[in-house]
Amino acid sequence: MTEVKGVVIASTPKMILDKFGQYGLKKWLELISPAARRVYSSDINTEAWFPLKEMLIEPMANIAQLFYDWDLKKAAWDFGRMSADNRFHGLLKLLVKIPKTNTLVEKAGEYLGSYYRPCAITVPISDTNYCLLRISHFPEMDKTTEFRICGWIERSLEIAGGKNVKVEILKSLTNFQPVSEYELRWG
C-alpha cells in the first residue's frame, strides 16, 4: 500500500479554505468519505503516514468535482503548486532561491520521498535549464498524484528562480509503462 505523509494532507484543508473559503471547505468535508472526514476534521499528525488512495486521491477527486468542473488535471496541478508554496514558504523560500534550479531538481527525490512511500525517484539527466526526473517505483501511482507532483515540481522550480518552467510527462506508470518520466525545462 502506498502512503502519504500527514504534512501533505494537513495542508489540504488550509489550501481549500484559502482558495474557496469556509463554505467551500464545509462542502468538501461533507462530500469526502467518512474515514477521510474523521482524519481531515481532526488535528492531523504531520509526521504520520496515511493510505494514499483514501486520504489524498479520493479527496482530490472531490475537490475536482466541487471546484474545477471535474477537471482533475487542473485541480491536482493547482494543489501541487500550492503544496510547493507551503513547503518552501517564508525563510525557506529565500533559502531555496540560493541553489541552482538543477540542484533543487536533483533533490526532488529526497523531497518527494519524504511525502510518499514507497517511491524511488532519480534524476538521470541534469543539464543547464533541463532535467529528466524518473519515478521507477511508486505502487498505486495514479493520474491525480502524477499531476500533483508535476504542479509541485513546476512551482518549486519557479520558487528557485526558473523562468518559463515547463513540465511534461513523457512516460507514465499509469499507462503501464515501466517508469514515469518528466521532462523539466526552464529559462
pLDDT at 98: 45
Tell me what pLDDT residue 110 has.
75
Across the range 179-185, mean pLDDT stands at 96
Predicted confidence band at 160 (pLDDT cuts at 50, 70, 90)? confident
Tell me the sheet residues that pair with 185: 130, 166
C-alpha to C-alpha distance for 2 and 94, rounded to whole angstroms = 32
* pLDDT range class, residue 107, cuts 50, 70, 90: confident
Instruction: Delimit the domains of the chain by residue range.
Output: 3-79, 87-185
Comparing 84 with 28, the larger pLDDT belongs to 28
What was the pLDDT predicted at 171?
98
Q: 87-185 in CATH: which number?
A: 3.90.1520.10
| Cα 121 to Cα 134: distance, rounded to the nearest angstrom | 6
3-state percent helix, strand, coil for the chain, nearest multiple of 5: 55, 20, 25
The SS3 call for residue 172 is coil
pLDDT tens by residue, 61-106 = 999 999 999 999 999 999 999 998 887 775 455 555 545 676 777 7
Phi, psi of 170 (to 5 degrees): -90, -40
Residue 3: name the closest of 115, 161, 150 by CA: 115
